[in-house]
Structure 1
Amino acid sequence: MQDLLQQDIAAIRERFDTAFYLKRYPDVGAAGIDPIEHYCRDGWREFRDPAMDFSTQYYLRANPDVAQSGVNPYAHFILQGEAEGRKAMAPLVETDEERTARLRLEHEKSVIAEAFNAEFYVQRYEDIAQLGVDPLDHYCRDGWREGRDPNDRFSTAYYLYAHPDVEAAGINPFWHYIMTGESEGRACMPENDDWMAIPEDPRAAAERALVAEHFDADFYLLHYPQVAEAGVDPVDHYLKFGAAEGHDPSPDFSTRYYLEMNPDLAGSGVNPFWHYLSSGKAEGRDPRHPGGYRVEELIALEPLERNVKRWRRKMAPRKLLDGEALVAAILGDAEGAELIFSLGHDQYRQVSGGVQLCIQREETLAVEAGGIYLNLHPWQPLPRLAHAEEDPDPVMVLVRNGTEIGKARMSDLIAATGALRTRIAGTKVVVHHLLGHLPEQVAELIAAAGERACWLWLHDFFSICPSYTLQRNTVSYCGAPDVSSNACTLCRFGVERAAHLARMKRFFDAVQVHVLSPSEVTAELWQARSGLRAASLEVVPHMALRWSKRAEPLPEDKTPITIGFLGTPAPHKGWNVFARLVRSLAASPTYRFVYLGQREMPISGVEHVDVHVTADTPDAMIDAVRQAGVDLVLHWASWPETFSLSTYEAFAGGAYVLTNPISGNVAATVARLKRGAILEDEAALHDFVTGAKGAKLVEKLRRERAEKAVKHTLSGMGFEVWGRKKKGRKA
Structure 2
Amino acid sequence: MKKIKIENKKAVLSISYGNYFKFHGGTDKVIQSHRKVLKKKKISYLFISPKVRKISENKGFFHFWEIMIDDVCYGLVDSNELLGIIGTLHQEKDVEIIGLHVHHLLRVFIPDVKIIWDNIKLPITMFIHDYYTICENYFLLRNKEEFCGGEQVNKKKCESCCFYKKVKKRAEGVRSLLYEYQNRIIAVIPSHYAREIWLIAYKEFEDRAFVVPHLELHGSYKGNMNQLKKRNKVKVAFIGLQAEMKGWEIWKDSIRNMDRHKELEFFYLGTGQERIHEVQNIEVSFQTMGEDAMIKTLRKYEIDCVVLWSIWPETYSLTFFECYASNVFVITNENSGNIAAMVRKYGNGTILREGRDLKKILEDEENFKNIINQWRNGCQYGPERLVDNERG
Fold shared per TM-score above 0.5: yes
Number of the residue aligned with 1:70: none
1:438 counterpart (100, 103, 109) = 109
2:77 counterpart (408, 418, 434) = 408
Q: Counterparts in 2 of 1:713-724, with a 5 A limit? A: 713-716=386-389, 719-720=390-391
TM-score with structure 2 length normalisation?
0.88
TM-score with structure 1 length normalisation?
0.49
1:700 aligns with 2:371: no
Q: Distance in 1 between matches of 2:145 and 2:163?
A: 12
- Over 3 Å counting, the alpha-carbon distance change for 1:431 and 1:591 in structure 2 is same
Number of the residue aligned with 1:357: 29
Q: Distance in 1 between matches of 2:205 and 2:23?
A: 32
Q: Distance in 1 between matches of 2:287 and 2:152?
A: 38
2:130 counterpart (447, 460, 469) = 460
Q: Distance in 2 between matches of 1:472 and 1:689?
A: 29
Question: What amino acid is the match of 1:497?
Answer: V
Question: What amino acid is the match of 2:282?
Answer: V
Number of the residue aligned with 1:494: 164
Does the 8 Å contact 1:636/1:659 carry over to 2?
yes
Question: What amino acid is the match of 2:186?
Answer: H
Q: Distance in 2 between matches of 1:470 and 1:487?
A: 11
Number of the residue aligned with 2:305: 632
- Over 3 Å counting, the alpha-carbon distance change for 1:605 and 1:668 in structure 2 is same
Q: Distance in 2 between matches of 1:444 and 1:478?
A: 33
Question: What amino acid is the match of 1:579?
Answer: K
Aligned residue pair count? 380
Q: Counterparts in 2 of 1:241-260, with a 5 A limit? A: none
Q: Distance in 1 between matches of 2:313 and 2:347?
A: 19
CA-based RMSD: 2.7
Q: Counterparts in 2 of 1:185-204, with a 5 A limit? A: none
Q: Distance in 2 between matches of 1:693 and 1:539?
A: 38
Number of the residue aligned with 1:298: none
Q: Distance in 2 between matches of 1:541 and 1:628?
A: 28
**Displacement of 1:414 after TM fit?**
2.9
Number of the residue aligned with 1:427: 98
- Over 3 Å counting, the alpha-carbon distance change for 1:548 and 1:419 in structure 2 is closer
Q: Distance in 2 between matches of 1:640 and 1:709?
A: 23
CA deviations over 1:81-117 (Å, ceiling 9, x no partner): xxxxxxxxxxxxxxxxxxxxxxxxxxxxxxxxxxxxx
Does the 8 Å contact 1:641/1:664 carry over to 2?
yes
Number of the residue aligned with 1:540: 212
SS of residue in 2 equivalent to 1:361: helix
1:571 aligns with 2:244: yes
SS of residue in 2 equivalent to 1:720: coil
Q: Distance in 2 between matches of 1:701 and 1:609?
A: 26
Does the 8 Å contact 1:483/1:489 carry over to 2?
no
Identity, % of aligned positions: 23
CA deviations over 1:216-266 (Å, ceiling 9, x no partner): xxxxxxxxxxxxxxxxxxxxxxxxxxxxxxxxxxxxxxxxxxxxxxxxxxx
Number of the residue aligned with 1:8: none
Question: What amino acid is the match of 1:696?
Answer: N
Which consecutive unaligned segments of at least 5 residues does structure 1 have?
Answer: 1-320, 382-388, 722-731
CA deviations over 1:396-421 (Å, ceiling 9, x no partner): 11222222222212231133334444
- Comparing 416-425 and 338-347, the one that deviates more: 416-425
**Displacement of 1:515 after TM fit?**
0.4
**Displacement of 1:554 after TM fit?**
6.9
CA deviations over 1:194-220 (Å, ceiling 9, x no partner): xxxxxxxxxxxxxxxxxxxxxxxxxxx
SS of residue in 2 equivalent to 1:441: helix
Does the 8 Å contact 1:631/1:701 carry over to 2?
no
- Over 3 Å counting, the alpha-carbon distance change for 1:340 and 1:439 in structure 2 is same
Number of the residue aligned with 1:398: 67
Q: Distance in 2 between matches of 1:616 and 1:599?
A: 15
Q: Distance in 1 between matches of 2:224 and 2:368?
A: 23
Q: Counterparts in 2 of 1:329-728, with a 5 A limit? A: 329=4, 332-334=5-7, 337-380=9-52, 391=61, 394-422=63-91, 423-451=94-122, 453-481=123-151, 483-511=153-181, 512-530=184-202, 533=205, 536-545=208-217, 548=220, 550=222, 557-558=228-229, 559-614=232-287, 617-691=290-364, 693-703=367-377, 708=381, 710-716=383-389, 719-720=390-391
Does the 8 Å contact 2:240/2:270 carry over to 1?
yes
Higher relative contact order (CA 8 A, sep 6+): 2
CA deviations over 1:278-300 (Å, ceiling 9, x no partner): xxxxxxxxxxxxxxxxxxxxxxx
SS of residue in 1 equivalent to 2:327: coil
Which consecutive unaligned segments of at least 5 residues does structure 2 have?
Answer: 54-58
Q: Distance in 1 between matches of 2:33 and 2:322?
A: 15
The structure with the largest alpha-carbon Rg is 1
Question: What amino acid is the match of 1:356?
Answer: D
